[in-house]
Structure 1
Amino acid sequence: MSSPNFLEGKHALVTGASSGLGWQFALTLARAGAKVSLAARSVDKLEALAKEIEAFDGRALPVRMDVTDIKSIQDGVHAAETELGPIDILVNNSGVSALSPSEKISEEDFDFVMDTNAKGAFFVAQAVGRSMIKHGNGGKIINIASVASQRVLKQNIAYCMSKAAVKHMTHALADEWGRYNIQVNCINPGYIVTGINRDYWETDAGKKLISRLPGRRVGEPTHLDGTLLLLAGPGSDFMTGSIIEVDDGLTAHGF
């Protein structure tokens, strides 16, 4: 990273920005100088994040987007680019899960996870990729998958399947869009503490899981900052189709 503001002048779109990893991704890119479009269904939360970014003189635009609705995706990308110019960086982060034994998962839960994590991620990438191809300046697409794309997380079949799809989508898009100077890479986070799971790590089950992890710890969203900034900036200009585990050794570890 050449300077603290090495993303100055770049426009980044972050999906799932209203909480968890997406919130942190948006803050990190804004602190590096990027203009950030904040996309999610909860616009009130996005407005709070925009205020936080504006407090350090960053530029942020809340954009209502439901990634399970293709028109909503297209409208959101159009609104972002109308306000802040062509998108240079996409952080394709929206994700949900539905814990259930495989023999009991409902079609509704399965579809909700696949429509958000796999289909939604693709159509967000397609909408932004079309714009990048049209403008001819290349770009960076950073897909957020999970260690679940490589290994089984118990009783989470749809999530595992959807994240494996995101991993393979990364390879396919990297192969197709390399000629347009669009780098498509993927981060596989391990267990990260967020608002949704914070209480779990204090339970007996959570503590037992931590005791079995290679580093006997879970990560914080800030642990992904370095990899995010690598993939968003010029340091990754000769990287595409890469899948990077940020998981404290979990993928390498055998239970």
Structure 2
Amino acid sequence: MTSFRLDGRVAVVTGASSGLGAHFAVVLARAGADVVVAARRADMLATVAAAVEAEGRRCLAVPTDVTDAAACSTLIDAAVDGLGGVHVVVNNAGTGYGGRSDRDDLAQTERLFDVNLRGAYQVAAAAGRAMIAGEGGSIVNVSSALALATTDVPQAAYSASKAGLLGMTRDLARQWARHGIRVNALAPGFFSSELTAPLLAHERGAASVRAATPLGRVGRLDELDGPLLLLASDAGSYITGTTLSVDGGMAMH
């Protein structure tokens, strides 16, 4: 369907060096977008950029630490100056860990919030400025089913950071609607990725995921393609301020 296409648009994906971010970059390219890929690991970004270019689209790889506000502005400027604008932002950079809060490493917790919440806010703010000055656009904040539900594995800090993204999403959607900017959240359940690998490698963790997911399995990355494109493209032109759960029923359960 043509409304799901992104021809002539520029998309920025953070946390694009591996996992969901790398997958999202290629999905957006297949839909016709030129893509800016951003992450801290420059060597891995080069591989993702090559995959985007193999789809016939232009790609810029911009090493970026989202906890640095100036770097977030530089990233968006690179999209505007290098590819002609910014129309879609997938705010995907994130980190996580599990563990009981009464035994928590507060330095690790601070780093998690810096990346997952403050970093996402800084990217969104920089993108919002560019989109207000340009043609509007779509921001997709990648949250988590753990913002809406729990498992037997304690992950309070991660869940809190991802729940914070949902409040941020609603408020930014309200602020920027008059500028033609849609802001939504995508809340994946458990998918095989670098971030989830430690949890899924342990029988207790894998069993917890199955028990918390009514469909009883880990998701396939391609099952995120349609939801992502719905929020990023004109197919979702009347959707803003919402959270789309793609979690095998986990939030319901």
Same fold (TM over 0.5): yes
Deviation at 1:211, TM superposition (A): 3.9
* Correspondence for 1:217: 217
Residues 175-229 of structure 1, C-alpha deviations (whole Å, 9 max, x = no match):
1100101000111000111134346535422442244131111002211100001
* Correspondence for 2:121: 122
* Correspondence for 2:144: 146
SS in 2 for 1:188: strand
Structure 2: give runs of 5+ residues left out of the alignment.
Answer: none
Deviation at 1:53, TM superposition (A): 1.8
Residues 59-115 of structure 1, C-alpha deviations (whole Å, 9 max, x = no match):
111011100111111112212221111100000000101322111112211110111
Kept in 2: contact 1:194–1:220 (CA 8 A): no
SS in 2 for 1:141: strand
* Correspondence for 2:193: 194
Instruction: Give the whole-Å Cα distance in 2 for the aligned partners of 1:175 and 1:138.
Output: 14
SS in 2 for 1:57: coil
Instruction: Give the whole-Å Cα distance in 2 for the aligned partners of 1:233 and 1:88.
Output: 9
Matched to 2:141, the amino acid is N
Higher mean Cα deviation, 196-205 or 126-135?
A: 196-205
Matched to 1:187, the amino acid is L
* Correspondence for 1:183: 182
User: How do residues 57-68 of structure 1 correspond to structure 2 at under 5 angstroms?
Assistant: 57-68=56-67
Matched to 2:217, the amino acid is R
Matched to 1:138, the amino acid is G
Matched to 1:148, the amino acid is L
Residues 144 and 38 of structure 1, relative CA distance in 2, 3 Å threshold: same
Residues 26-60 of structure 1, C-alpha deviations (whole Å, 9 max, x = no match):
00000111000001011111111111222231211
* Correspondence for 1:26: 25
Q: Report whether the alignment pairs 1:13 with 2:50.
A: no
Deviation at 1:22, TM superposition (A): 0.3
Deviation at 1:23, TM superposition (A): 0.5
Q: Report whether the alignment pairs 1:229 with 2:229.
A: yes
Q: Report whether the alignment pairs 1:250 with 2:250.
A: yes
SS in 2 for 1:177: helix
Instruction: Give the whole-Å Cα distance in 2 for the aligned partners of 1:249 and 1:147.
Output: 9
Kept in 2: contact 1:24–1:221 (CA 8 A): yes
Higher mean Cα deviation, 38-47 or 201-210?
A: 201-210
Residues 211 and 236 of structure 1, relative CA distance in 2, 3 Å threshold: closer
Alignment root-mean-square deviation, CA:
1.5
Instruction: Give the whole-Å Cα distance in 2 for the aligned partners of 1:206 and 1:80.
Output: 39
User: How do residues 79-158 of structure 1 correspond to structure 2 at under 5 angstroms?
Assistant: 79-135=78-134, 137-153=135-151, 154-158=153-157
Structure 1: give runs of 5+ residues left out of the alignment.
Answer: none
Instruction: Give the whole-Å Cα distance in 2 for the aligned partners of 1:38 and 1:76.
Output: 9
Instruction: Give the whole-Å Cα distance in 2 for the aligned partners of 1:114 and 1:203.
Output: 25
Instruction: State percent identity of aligned pairs.
Output: 39
SS in 2 for 1:178: helix
Kept in 2: contact 1:146–1:187 (CA 8 A): yes
Instruction: Give the whole-Å Cα distance in 2 for the aligned partners of 1:128 and 1:26.
Output: 17
Instruction: Give the whole-Å Cα distance in 1 for the aligned partners of 2:163 and 2:248.
Output: 20
Kept in 1: contact 2:3–2:234 (CA 8 A): no
